[in-house]
Chains A and B, each alone.
Chain A
Amino acid sequence: MNEILDWIIHHSPALIVAVPLLGAFLTILIGKIGPRIRNVFVIIITAITSFFVLLLANYVFTNGIKTYVFGGSSTSIESSYAIRILFEIDGLNAFIAIIAAILPIVAIIYSWAFMKEHTGLDKYYTLILLMTAGMLGMILTGDLFNFFVFLEITSIASAALIAFYLHKANSVQAAFKYIVISAIGALFLLFAIALFYGQYNALNMAVIANNISFTFIDKIALVVLIAALAMKAGIVPMHMWLPDAYGRAPASVTVVLIGTTLASLYGLFRVIFTIYGNHLFTVDSSQIALVLGVLIIILAVVTIVIGVFMALKQNDFKRMIAFAAIAEIGYMFLAVGAALSTYTFEGSSATISASGQMALKGGVFHIFNDALDVGLLFLVAGAVYYAAKETSLNKLGGLARNMKYTTIFFLIGLAAVSGLPPMNGFASKLIIYQSTFQINPLLAIVAILCSILLLATFVKVFYSVFLGPKLPKFSGVKEVPKSMLIAMGIIACIIIFIGLFPNVFVENIVTPAANALQNATSYIGGVL
């Protein structure tokens, strides 16, 4: 039994991508038997994938970096480095992979009832599994070109899913916008990869990080990479695709889309902290770390403010949550930028100050919480749409009478996303407030004010959707089916659990991830 488990853990990086990929194409065949069997099959596939992810994460958190090489047992040949695809998992990958594994399960359980009335569901599930495979591949891979390939798999599958409501002009338009943005982003990513390859003859992130000498071409590549990945992650000047894509896609798809956005964000962190990490933070380029930190802080503050204010004026339930999601991405960025700006230099090595460490932890922690909170809110919006066939905030009202459980889930999501205790959002936002206050009080003030505004926005939504007089139009509205309630319940339970015991979570999962972020040397050591 232990041998089998060891074998699975050893091969889990490959299996995590292979299982959903195989499942995706089997889904079409199994769909011929019957819809019920197909749904069970898809749930089993995602459950197996998540099981592998958890095993791998557990291994990484206890034993350190795991490197898995395809087509060979070792990363190097005699006297030099072999060009091989390899997956390298450290604390940060493992952490993000856990999020990326939870979201598809929830989405698929939710889709059981939510998508029931639609045709073409075989293809729908195939695309969701493809998205899962691509997303996990992006997260686990240690090879830049491989990252590009998985990014394209993810964006093709997501664009097709955003256009799932083909009869609605808006969703087709949103999908076109999304595919144009992600195609351009991915091509510039490939351009940057070619710049690296031309200089260092390598595609492996660790090898590039080891050889990088911060030439002029490397600086161009850094700018191109940050622009391309920030575009995919929805940072403000490049955010215009995000509300459309999040708002027009079916709610279950949006939940997985959040995962793909976070995977791009992970890519951004990997580029800044690992590939450029050793060079950005040495003495000769000390100014650059500060400049990059300040730049990221400015982007983050703009993202938060614009996200919150745009959310305030939306009339559409899902678009409003999408803008809130943009603001939440800003919070992660704020924490990371604040941490970057506190690098201090003693001799030849750079260290982050204690408050910077805290900020980094808060930022990483917030990635997890954002995915859950915003995911839950989108699921609630989907449930309201399912029951009332309406997403306009002006027309909805009085639904709390008919949809008790959904109302409770919305309240949980509302409290979590605006950082109220005892939800998980409070735990991570408090860390961010505290640490940014020590770095620069102004940042903390902006962060807290925007959180309050976010709360105001959601209270307004809560009032206009769930409270208010009973509308005759919605008198026949019933509570949504069980599968949707279960999906929302799973997320709500995790939210409350993290909110009540944040320490368990921070110590066991977040701290290794935050440490991995700062430790480019050990990531390089995993390969060379």
Chain B
Amino acid sequence: MELLIQFGFFLFLLVVGLLFGSMNEKRHFRQLKEQEAALREVMVFNERHLPEWLEVRQAKLVVGSVVIGEDYFKRVAAALKSIFGGRLTMYESLMDRGRREAVLRMKQEARRMGATMIFNVRFETASLSEDSAGRQQAFSAEFIAYGTALVPAAPPA
């Protein structure tokens, strides 16, 4: 009986994870698409050197960050998939979401100061899911994107 309850609880979490997780993911991807379209005019480069003709009025460090966690379904599915190895698509989408969101937030900060381009963009990812004993908890990771936002001296003709 006790086993049955435990199994029921596990199934419940699995279904909740699957339903809400995929709903959240779909919504997030939709939002990303919209916001990316809205922020397209902010150009992003990972180039370190500025073109010589560019005259800069203002430069400022901008950072975008987000912490994204997995859902219960992904956790179980990834554990099962890891037995056989290969692509963990459930985590690939998670990483994609985190990184795109970080870039968006960085772009938003740049636009607030009136910048039209960001140079030397760097990414950083840190897993937050492991405690000091090395035990694996539910996976979550911080994604940051940062760069130098530039306000050009004259608006491009």
A and B physically associate? no
Interface residues of B (CB under 8 A from A): none
